[in-house]
Chains A and B, each alone.
Chain A
Amino acid sequence: MPYEFVLTEARGPVGIVTINRPQVRNALNPQTIAELVDALETFDGDEGIRCMILTGDDRAFAAGADISQMVDAGAVEVLADDNFARWARFRAIHKPVIAAVSGYALGGGCELALMCDLVVASETALFGQPEVKIGIIPGAGGTQRWARSAGKVRAMEAVLIGEPVRAVDAERMGLINRVVAAGAHLDEALRLANLIAARPPLAVRLGKEAVNHAMEVGLGAGLDFERKLFYLLFASEDKREGMRAFLEKRPGRFNGR
């Protein structure tokens, strides 16, 4: 399916989705969101792909929503459009998604990065939720994901003041995985994606589910959930292969079964 605002590329086992609206700093209009989610879902269903990367260009990962499309919208229109149903599909993706961020990741762009499972950023990256400056608040998970990854007080500062943080500060506060030299973000994301791609796919998938569950439930329920997935993996061929390969001091050959 041809897309207007995203580019897709399979590089070995890694599917790369690039937001491509440079003239508006990759602002996220409903069509762009629909396309990028669709592209990720397609890779998610592709047996040859083990991990996805979501990126923008050097100047912007994604600079928030298209304000020009929202300026005259009322509550009823926003509710009826149900843009958030598109975002919700993002959560149902099974394979890991790595955000490779350079430049602006603001508003919806920041929320999009934080939806990803890992975030790698160029030192030029800026993360922020400026919504408060225009009379709204983050609507695609910003308040919740900032609080969960960076903590309450950092989330309050981001959401109540709206000033962005630099990549080095975002790394320090646990918002992102790591900062790399300007221009090296995609290389680093590919390096990590290929490491993930070399791991047994079922273990990766259930590991992602288990960590995501930690954001949803109390510790006891989370531990119970983890235990069940742990037992489940003992039924896999990859577990037998992985353990044998370890004992025989050779790399494992995993088939995802």
Chain B
Amino acid sequence: MSETTHSTRDGAVLTLTINRPEALNALNPPTMRALRDGIEAAGRDREIGAVVLTGSGRAFCSGADLKDVAARLDTGEMDVGNDLRANYVPLTRAIRFCPKPVIAALNGSAAGAGLSLALACDLRIAAAGAQLIVAFVRVGLVPDAGCLFFLTRMVGLSKATELALSGDPLSVEAAQQLGLVAAVVPPDQLMSVALERARRLAEGPRQTTALIKRGLERALDLDLEQVMELEAQLQTLAARTADAQEAIRAFIEKRTPVFRA
């Protein structure tokens, strides 16, 4: 890890915290690199079953570090498109391709690419009072880092259009109504609720969890026949795992399955 992020372990759950509270946890290249490395390492680490991503201080993540962007634009050294390709895209991809569940614990507001980061996660648990802001249009920019993909699929084109064109904040309570946020809890309970969710997911059948994540990802772009074929492929793999065999036996024997963590 680096000074921009820190990580803590709690059993099988790894918590990655963006640690630039003075900048509202804005994303600069070293921060994104550290997050990406942390998530990729967690994906490979057999001891870890789930990841919680959160921020320190009053924001979850305020998006791109605009001071950094402005300075680099002034010197003419910056190509925003290539910056996305080099830094933001690999981070979003790392979260989506992580074989383990990644939960965003929204301790405060998620704006711009910070929202993209939250939406890339598998679940969002939010502290009451936090806001989601598709803020890009406010600085004359287009939603990026996967935001258009996630928003249109999660809330539909109509609501995504309203949010993206206005840049108006959405309370997490309203976001929960839209299905964007799984739970809204009092701020002082956020981490315990998020860690408990993560712990439960980490105790599940790991390989099956990874297969379900891949299936959900691809199902978005396929038709029914293709999805049913994909499911047949995934099920062949899942049924072969020791965890599935244990769970099926446990079901017949009317007992709780014990998964190999």
Contact = CB atoms under 8 A, between A and B. Distances in A.
A184 B218 contact: no
Secondary structure at the A interface, as helix, strand, loop or mixed, is: loop
A180 interface: yes
A13 interface: no
A187 B218 contact: no
A216 B167 CA distance: 59
Interface in B185-235: 211, 214-215, 218, 230, 233-234
Q: Determine the main DSSP class of B at the interface with A.
A: helix
A184 B230 CA distance: 10
Contacts of B215: 181
A219 to B, nearest CB: 33
B236 A123 contact: no
In the complex, which range does the number of interface residues on chain A fall in? under 10
Nearest to B230: A181
A222 interface: no
A187 B214 contact: no
Nearest to A183: B237
A131 to B, nearest CB: 23
B218 A123 contact: yes
A57 B211 CA distance: 18
A94 to B, nearest CB: 30
Nearest to A180: B233
A24 interface: no
Interface in B127-141: none
A188 interface: yes
Contacts of B214: 123, 181-182
Contacts of A183: 237
Contact of A188 (B211, B218, B233): B233
Contacts of A182: 214
A182 B237 CA distance: 10
Interface string A171-203: 000000000111110011000000000000000
A188 B237 CA distance: 11
Nearest to A123: B218
A257 B141 CA distance: 69
Contacts of A123: 214, 218
A233 to B, nearest CB: 32
Nearest to A181: B233
Contacts of A188: 233
Contacts of B211: 181
Contacts of A181: 211, 214-215, 218, 230, 233-234, 237
A55 B233 CA distance: 18
Contacts of B236: 184, 187
B243 to A, nearest CB: 15
Contacts of A180: 230, 233
A181 B210 CA distance: 11
22 contacts: A123-B214, A123-B218, A180-B230, A180-B233, A181-B211, A181-B214, A181-B215, A181-B218, A181-B230, A181-B233, A181-B234, A181-B237, A182-B214, A183-B237, A184-B233, A184-B234, A184-B236, A184-B237, A187-B233, A187-B236, A187-B237, A188-B233
Interface of A: 123, 180-184, 187-188
Q: Which 4 residue pairs are nearest across A and B when measured between Cβ atoms?
A: A184-B233, A181-B233, A181-B234, A180-B233
Given A181-B234, A187-B233, 15 more contacts: A123-B214, A123-B218, A180-B230, A180-B233, A181-B211, A181-B214, A181-B215, A181-B218, A181-B230, A181-B233, A181-B237, A182-B214, A183-B237, A184-B234, A188-B233
